Chains A and B, each alone.
Chain A
Amino acid sequence: MQITQLTAFDLLDQIKKRQLTARDAVEAFLKQIDKHEKTIGALITVLPEYARERADQIDQMLADGRDAGPLAGLPIIIKDNLCTQFAKTTCASKILIDYQPPYNAHVVEQLEKAGAIIIAKANLDEFAMGSSTENSGIKTTRNPWSTDCVPGGSSGGSAAAVAARMAPVSLGTDTGGSIRLPAAFCGISGLKPTYGRVSRYGLVAYGSSLDQIGPLGADARDIALVMNVISGHDARDTTSVPESISPKPDYLTKLDTPLKGLRIGIVKEYQSSDGIDPQIVAAIDQATKLYEQMGAQLVEVSLPHTQYAVACYYLVATAEASSNLARYDGVHFGYRTPNPEDYIDVYSSSRAEGFGDEVKRRIMLGTYALSAGYYDAYYLKALKVRMMIRQDFEKAFEQADIICAPVAPTTAFRVGEKTSDPLTMYLSDIFTISANLAGIPGISIPAGFSRDSLPIGLQLLGNYFDESTILQAAWQYQQHTDFHRQIPAGFIEQ
């Protein structure tokens, strides 16, 4: 099999056995990038020299018989809202177009310590605000399954890159579905961990109480490999969970345990959802039937407040964003308007010229929600609804071990189809947003194809800090299906 078609697991195995060098791996994926980036537009920065240098170092370590880490030689692409001292971090925004952070994100440190090689930084919706990656201030990313279609968002670059095999795995971030949705649209697997499982230190904040970093890859095992490296407590993020409360497990150990007796929750409220593509409903039905055959038991659970999730999300996330994005003002870093009249104009013109429309829309929404006289009616009420959604899940997880649901109401839509109607666009996240509001983990895995050969995703939601069980359920499913092994035509090396 060609290098670019290997899973991360197999690639690491070959490097470990010295059948392949890290440099070989890096060259193969750089070549794939060279070949396809023009059509896909998944990447903002490619780091060939940096990657080659790192690869040679790792090969030297391996040649010397030294331990180069669990991900030694693994090429990886990370979303461009994760800070790197060695490469620009743009958040796909004009306001940070030349911004070079003075430090590395926690996940970057962890990856590099483990021997992974960051070969590129991926496109996204500006500041991770969007569901299609069309809001990028830098470029539009295309779906490798159909270049007329969006890859989903906001981690569209991270998902499209893995689908196009520009890297075996990538990192994305998920605030309302931003890992799971593009994973579904691009026919790969993507995990949003429990809030607090992965340190956010160095993730440029959008909605701080919702943001989580997670891996995307071909299958659940590749995701588990990366999770073993990026998760765990970090004292620099006080919202990251201490070992004493939830010790970090080895995510690989439970993968092969059979599912017998696993209780899978089917959400009552999602059964009657209008506007969901029947092909997706059918795929989910197929998946649940397969789970039953594998020994799992289906139970009905209720998430009565889930209907308020989208409204709640667009208050909480935008309120936090309006404050988080206040620092992009042209004074201390980033884009500054060329000829300001006075210091107030430095602020207003730099922001007016630097931010895209969707970012401005969300900043205005959030500013409004936090304003005196509106705070109680909007932000405070949203926090109450959020608590109810959380309680819904706590109750559901008394009856079920995991919850099975669609990822999105549709498969990948066409570029430009929803850009003029932000509200319809917001509804793409209707099935993913609740997990962020509640803080629970969720994974999206390939579960079929539509008549137009577009991938369909299946979402598995887990209890707090129980990523292991959804990874196990995902991996077991992948032992009985081969949707996750499909690579879009034209991306297989000849």
Chain B
Amino acid sequence: MSDLNYKVIIGLEIHVQLATQSKLFCACPNRFGDEPNSNVCPVCMGSPGTLPVMNKKAYEFAVRTAMAMNCEIARYTKWDRKSYYYPDLPKNYQISQYDLPLSQNGNIEITVAGEQKKIRIRRIHLEEDAGKLLHEGNVGFSQVDLNRTGTPLMEIVTEPDLSTPEEARVFGTELRTLVRTLGVSEANMQQGQMRLEPNINLVITKDGKQYKTPIAEVKNLGSLRALERACAYEIQRQLADWEKTGVTMETGFKSTRGWDEQTGTTVLQREKEEAEDYRYFPDPDLVPVVVEKDWLDAIRKSLPELPIARRARFQTQFCFSEKDATTLVEDRATADLFEQALSLGAPVKVLCNHFISFWAMHANQRGVSIAELGVSAPRMASLAKLVGDNKINNTTAAALAEKLLTCPDDPADIAQRENLMQVSDASSLEKILDEILIANAKAVEDARTPGKKQQKAFGFILGQVMQKTRGQANPQVVNQLLQKKLAEKN
């Protein structure tokens, strides 16, 4: 291959399920995992004569997200009907926002390999979700579950600003952290609470000429890892396709492909010649939304510290590395837990150390976040204070941490009970030291004599003290005592 290079163009379309109490246009619970068709009412079942009423909380959640992405918030929006026939859509139209989305023109900053990059957000709008078709165990027919019908879905569309699979994954992580921090969605990808669909193609330059491959939209991505892998796969596939057939955007069709986690490939679902005609028109059943400035101001004031700012603060204020700060802030509850423990008097350095060492390790092993380990902020703070106050050392702390996962007691009580406290009391240590000095006259002699053996003898005596106290002697105190004793007898 002579003189071939290519650029990757990725844009994302993301659907986020909003964690409101009720559905977007009726009062049914917005809840999953219940009996099929138990969270339904005449409105979301599309019964003739019913009318939708907008859930203001869902709108607020979308506005919060849009604000956090630096979007322009529209002061006047409306609802449109998007028409298509499918059995999981009882009205055979979906209420969505077409030409007046609730927000436009924002951006999210991501950091990839130390480089910062702004990814532009084209628009964010709200729409109702469809139901689910159940095919399992049925021959010749399907069943429809309408529990999900009418639940609020926030659609986020980026500009095609992502240029590597890694950037796509980092963007997805950033977005997930953001919506979790804002409290608008749990954004669990396996459960479909956040669905990312990349639109991807290549601009290939060969021998001074440019070729654009047909855009593929990839669906069915159950994790951010899958998103990255699917993008990487698509790059290779499109390149190979082009090399084999020379197909370009002009000669080929836009396609929809499904990710197959097992084989690690994407499978063609459909190709479309032209855009489908959804016959959008304003929904006459819903009055337009006029957004008051006061309401927007109140929402803006209520925004929590955003991940990007919090991450920066965790780096500068607490001396976390960028990587550790990112991991911590990714889960708002974990970052909150950290700050709560800090406010209870935990020494910052010790606490940081605990979070990135054993707390992170336990969370990883269990596949949960640190906040989900079940160890409260006061107990974490207490453990950190024991180390800070020289009552235990870090080795003991790690051992104690493991006990805290199963035992509800305060770490200080456990340490006391199990005799794990460091002995810092000079008089009791002095007694032990004296016994050792008497029993090891040779070593004492060496320790007093400047020369090769001095250092080794000193260490030997210290080791004896540690052994006698089962590691709980405060090394600093013993050190000082020993130096004093050696000098005295001189």
Contacts and interface: CB of A to CB of B under 8 A. Distances in A.
Nearest to A331: B87
B81 interface: yes
Interface in A73-123: 81-83, 89, 91, 96, 99, 101-103, 105
Interface string B21-52: 00000000000000000000010011111111
A375 B279 CA distance: 8
Contact of B92 (A238, A326, A343, A372): A326
Given A238-B287, A319-B281, A329-B92, A83 B83 contact: no
A238 B286 CA distance: 6
A123 B142 CA distance: 36
Interface string B73-93: 000000001010101001111
Interface of B is mostly: loop
A379 interface: yes
B14 to A, nearest CB: 26
A89 B54 CA distance: 27
A347 B85 contact: yes
B148 to A, nearest CB: 15
B285 A367 contact: no
Interface stretch (A177-185, A199-207, A303-311): A199-207
Contact of A326 (B83, B275, B281): B83
B53 A236 contact: yes
Contacts of A319: 281
Nearest to A201: B51
Interface string B242-286: 000000000000000000000000000000000101011100111
B144 interface: yes
Given A103-B47, A238-B287, A375 B281 contact: yes
> Which of A99, A105, A326, A328 counts the most chain B CB atoms within 10 A?
A326
Interface string B273-306: 0010101110011110000000000000000000
A209 interface: yes
Contacts of B280: 370
Contacts of B91: 326-327
A103 B92 contact: no
A101 B47 contact: yes
A201 B91 CA distance: 16
Contacts, number: 99
Contacts of B52: 238
A323 B83 contact: yes
Contacts of B87: 331, 343
Given A323-B279, A332-B90, A235 B49 contact: no
Given A327-B91, A331-B87, A347-B85, A208 B49 contact: no
A333 interface: yes
A96 B48 contact: yes
Contact of B279 (A103, A207, A331, A371): A371
A238 B54 contact: yes
A205 B92 contact: no
Contact of B49 (A201, A320, A329, A375): A201
B145 to A, nearest CB: 12
Nearest to A333: B47
Contacts of B45: 102, 332
A237 interface: yes
Interface in A300-358: 319-320, 322-323, 326-329, 331-333, 343, 347
A343 B92 CA distance: 14
A37 B397 CA distance: 91
Given A326-B91, A326-B92, A331-B144, A209 B51 contact: no
Contact of B287 (A203, A239, A370): A239
Contacts of A328: 48
Contacts of A200: 49, 51
Interface in A236-260: 236-239
A171 B285 CA distance: 21
A83 B43 CA distance: 13
Nearest to A330: B87
A319 B90 CA distance: 19
Contact of A236 (B51, B92, B275): B51
Interface residues of A, number: 44
Nearest to A85: B42
Contacts of A82: 49
Interface string A216-250: 00000000000000000001111100000000000
> Which of A91, A203, A205, A238 counts the most chain B CB atoms within 10 A?
A238
B281 A370 contact: yes
Contacts of A323: 81, 83, 93, 279, 281
Nearest to B84: A326
A102 B431 CA distance: 87
B284 A209 contact: yes
Contacts of A209: 284
Interface in B220-259: none
Contacts of A91: 48
A319 B287 CA distance: 18
A201 B93 contact: no
Contact of A204 (B49, B54, B90, B144): B49
A83 B51 contact: no
Contacts of B53: 235-236, 238
Given A105-B49, A201-B51, A333-B47, A327 B285 contact: no
A209 B287 CA distance: 10
Nearest to A102: B42
A101 B277 contact: no
Contacts of A379: 281
> Which of B91, B279, B286, B287 counts the most chain A CB atoms within 10 A?
B279
A208 B284 contact: yes
Interface string B81-125: 101010100111100000000000000000000000000000000
A320 B279 contact: no
A332 B281 CA distance: 24
A344 B281 CA distance: 24
Nearest to B46: A327
A96 B284 CA distance: 23
Given A327-B91, A331-B87, A347-B85, A99 B48 contact: yes
B50 to A, nearest CB: 7
Contacts of B49: 81-83, 89, 101, 105, 200-205
A81 B48 CA distance: 9
B285 A239 contact: yes
Contacts of A326: 83, 85, 91-93
Nearest to A83: B49
Nearest to B26: A236
A9 B394 CA distance: 90
A323 B285 CA distance: 12
A124 to B, nearest CB: 14
Given A83-B49, A238-B53, A327-B92, A371 B81 contact: no
Contact of B277 (A235, A332, A372): A372
Interface string B201-223: 00000000000000000000000
Contacts of A201: 49-51
A333 B42 CA distance: 12
Given A103-B42, A238-B287, A239-B285, A327 B90 contact: yes
A329 B42 contact: no
Interface of B: 42, 45-54, 81, 83, 85, 87, 90-93, 142, 144, 275, 277, 279-281, 284-287
8 contacts: A83-B47, A89-B48, A89-B49, A103-B47, A103-B50, A235-B53, A343-B142, A371-B279
**Sorted from nearest, which 4 A-B pairs have the closest CB atoms?**
A326-B92, A209-B284, A208-B284, A370-B279
Given A102-B45, A327-B91, A329-B85, 12 more contacts: A103-B50, A105-B49, A236-B53, A323-B93, A326-B93, A327-B48, A331-B87, A332-B46, A332-B90, A370-B279, A371-B277, A372-B275
Interface of A: 81-83, 89, 91, 96, 99, 101-103, 105, 200-205, 207-209, 235-239, 319-320, 322-323, 326-329, 331-333, 343, 347, 367, 370-372, 375, 379
